[in-house]
Amino acid sequence: MADTDVLTGRRAFIRAAGTAVAAPVLSFGGGAFAAGAFAAVAPNGGSTADASFHSVVFPPPPLAKQPFQLLPTGAIKPTGWLRRQLQVQADGLGGHLDETWPDVGPDSGWLGGKGESWERGPYFLDGLLPLAWQLDSEPLKSKARRFIDWTLDHPWPDGMFGPRGNDDWWPRMVMLKVLTQFHELTGDARVIPLMTNYFVHQLQALPARPLRDWGRMRWQDELVSVVWLYSRTSDPRLLELAKLLQAQGYDWQGMFANFPFKAKVDPEAIKKEAGAGDAFMEDIGLQVHGVNNAQALKASPVWSQVSGKTADREAVHHQLAMLDQYHGLPNGMFSADEHLAGRNPSQGVELCAVVEAMYSLELALAITGDAAIGDRLERIAFNALPGTFTDDMWAHQYDQQPNQVESSLHRRPWTTNGPEANLFGLDPHFGCCTANFHQGWPKFTASLWMATADGGLAAAAYAPCEVATTVRGVPLRLEQATDYPFRQQVRITLHPESPVAFPLRLRIPGWSPRTAIKVNGQSVAAAAPGSFATVERSWKAGDTVELAFDAHPVAEAGFNGSHSFTFGALVFSLPIRENWVRWRKRGLTADWQVYPGSRWNYGVSAGARAVASEHALPVSPFAGPPPLTLAVEGRPVPAWKAEEGAADPVPAQPKAAVDEPATILTLVPYAVAKLRITSFPVIASPS
């Protein structure tokens, strides 16, 4: 089939229909920047900058040692395709949401207005802020600063902060994440006093006004900011607060130690709980809530910083294993179309869960040093994240499906979400994802490289970027040139101001059996797949490190014995011809339905082998045409149908059509196909 036509057709249609009123123009910042680009920006309000705010800070004793630490926000700038992707975000809703969505508009409670005063302002800022600095965009910086200045300049007399319209702990947990990033970018001297006053207030208030509902399930996200502040002030009251948050917070580790939720959640049970009033917020509806579970992936590693226990640090692996075993999807996520939904690839996963899982894994990778978490992070970042947006990032889905044969208002097999949940639009189903998606790409960018506890640097995930940091007291710039994950070569060039010896750690993905590493053209020993290779030497300006990964097409077994195909960090899907229909106009953007225009019910044979082909890298690689395709033989499976716009669960061992020939299916990266089959039934062998 002519998959190129399908893809060209979609873009042409979107262009013709004018979804993006303010037609985004891709700008190609060459990505070159001087170390001076990281110099402090003078904070507003006449305040001064704290000293060495852009240094790497590891948690001090008695907090546990950890192998890696994130570099300060702003130390890593995107280049190459990643910069172009972030520019797409900025040219789409990422940079314009406040102009078209009142919830983060001029009347936001986080600007002192009477509008939305809960989580949406902080969610938006959590991504807008790092995006603005990564692109060095003055208009976006000033958008972000308005919210932050209002927040920093309007604390309550008792130490609380934020809009006076509510005193909920939860939205403040999000804003704390924003303030820590802002301090790392600017050293603004208002941040640390405000956070200290707030935590002292909370320490004395929590016994009488304990964590509840969302805040109780998401306590670990606040703990990240508490540890951040302790690492800068060593105020012993912060350790007391850390322990109180854990004591009042939900016991995620306990839930997964004996994991009871092994099947698609029954919506009737949820409704019954909801009917019981407040019990809903304390019980099953929150335990099996997808976004809560995504945020909970950081709970044990972050708590291990305080407890010092190896068992806490390692618990995240069991958590991931349970989610994979009972709810795993081929795009790297677990199903949760609001609530955990089993392994059927026609179930959905919410965009908030995607970006929150990424953020959790970024922290878990730093705290555990486990290379497999980097593999997982990349699978989500390169597949599930871009796979749920339109190419121009002016519209997104609430729920995406790995087997997504239609995006329409038909009823879906969701646990509890509504009929709009997999439309592409401004705020389909509910606006949390509209506010929260912004952190996905910028925080991924910010975690590509990390500092190591022994004074070196670690490549945690791969994408084109530049790093400016200080290693063992020596200012150092590093360029990482690559078209990964669409190509398998990475070239790193180091520019220390003067020669400096330190270990460089390079993540070797679990799927790369024979990785080649060269330093200045000379081969060095690689490490086992799924670990970090270490190159320790004296580095001087112009030294290069070249990596060549060894990716192969792999058929992974999934739900009902189905097969999904991967090549390195990318998951591949059969694209279905897309007919985009604008349902309604929404300010600067629109809500869309997408109907299938080609056959999708194909199966593959057991042992089917896929063959990879490279094609030119387009400007926006997730928008197509595909820079990499896999060819695999498939056969029509007429009994596999769709009901109400959702593909039936992949049948186990179906029969192939007897009167139709086998055909070569051209699979494209998951995110390139907005209608797609990702899990293929494995056809019964003729008896």
Question: Nearest approach, Cβ of 445 to Zn ion (angstroms)?
Answer: 21
Cα separation, 383 vs 570, whole angstroms: 7
In the set 239, 432, 524, 642, which binds Zn ion (CB under 5 A)?
432
Q: Tell me whether residue 388 or residue 678 sits nearer to Zn ion (CB atom).
A: 388
In the set 355, 433, 588, 623, which binds Zn ion (CB under 5 A)?
433
Of 77-85, 105-113, 349-357, 488-496: span binding Zn ion (CB under 5 A): 349-357
Q: Tell me whether residue 13 or residue 430 sits nearer to Zn ion (CB atom).
A: 430
DSSP state at residue 368: H
Question: Nearest approach, Cβ of 377 to Zn ion (angstroms)?
Answer: 19
Instruction: Please return the burial class of 28, using the count of CB atoms within 10 Å of its CB with bins 0-12, 13-18 and 19+.
Output: exposed
Give helix then strand counts, H and E, for the chain: 21, 27
What residues between 447 and 476 interact with Zn ion by CB under 5 A? none
Question: Nearest approach, Cβ of 355 to Zn ion (angstroms)?
Answer: 9
> For residue 350, what are the β-bridge partners?
399
Q: Which two tokens stand for residue 648?
A: 């039936």
For residues 39-66, one letter each, b for 16 or more C-beta atoms within 10 angstroms of the residue's C-beta and e for the rest, the string is eeeebbeebebbeebbebbebeeebbeb
Question: Nearest approach, Cβ of 410 to Zn ion (angstroms)?
Answer: 21
Cα separation, 621 vs 26, whole angstroms: 13
For residues 153-167, one letter each, b for 16 or more C-beta atoms within 10 angstroms of the residue's C-beta and e for the rest, the string is eebeeebbbbbeeee
Of 309-317, 351-359, 365-373, 557-565: span binding Zn ion (CB under 5 A): 351-359
Q: Tell me whether residue 428 or residue 596 sits nearer to Zn ion (CB atom).
A: 428
Question: Nearest approach, Cβ of 433 to Zn ion (angstroms)?
Answer: 3
Binding residues for Zn ion, rule CB under 5 A, total: 4
Q: Tell me whether residue 149 or residue 350 sits nearer to Zn ion (CB atom).
A: 350
Q: Tell me whether residue 429 or residue 577 sits nearer to Zn ion (CB atom).
A: 429
Question: Nearest approach, Cβ of 352 to Zn ion (angstroms)?
Answer: 3
User: How far from chain centre, in Å, is Cα 541?
Assistant: 33
Q: Does 385 bind Zn ion (CB under 5 A)?
A: no
In the set 175, 178, 352, 671, which binds Zn ion (CB under 5 A)?
352
Taking alpha carbons only, the member of 82, 89, 97, 95 closest to residue 29 is 82
Question: Nearest approach, Cβ of 594 to Zn ion (angstroms)?
Answer: 20
Q: Tell me whether residue 92 or residue 440 sits nearer to Zn ion (CB atom).
A: 440
CA distances from 117 to 106, 167, 212, 641 (A): 12, 10, 18, 45
Question: Nearest approach, Cβ of 102 to Zn ion (angstroms)?
Answer: 18
Cα separation, 552 vs 67, whole angstroms: 30
Cα separation, 648 vs 638, whole angstroms: 12
In the bound complex, which residue of the shown chain has the CB atom lying closest to Zn ion? 352
Site of tokens 């912060």:
238
Q: Tell me whether residue 91 or residue 350 sits nearer to Zn ion (CB atom).
A: 350
Q: Tell me whether residue 357 or residue 460 sits nearer to Zn ion (CB atom).
A: 357
Taking alpha carbons only, the member of 405, 436, 359 closest to residue 649 is 405
> For residue 507, what are the β-bridge partners?
532
Of 157-165, 348-356, 595-603, 658-666: span binding Zn ion (CB under 5 A): 348-356
Question: Nearest approach, Cβ of 153 to Zn ion (angstroms)?
Answer: 30
Question: Nearest approach, Cβ of 103 to Zn ion (angstroms)?
Answer: 13
Cβ(403)–Cβ(678) below 8 Å: yes
Cα separation, 637 vs 245, whole angstroms: 53
Q: Tell me whether residue 352 or residue 358 sits nearer to Zn ion (CB atom).
A: 352
Q: Tell me whether residue 35 or residue 432 sits nearer to Zn ion (CB atom).
A: 432
Which spans of this chain sit near Zn ion (rule: CB under 5 A)?
350, 352, 432-433
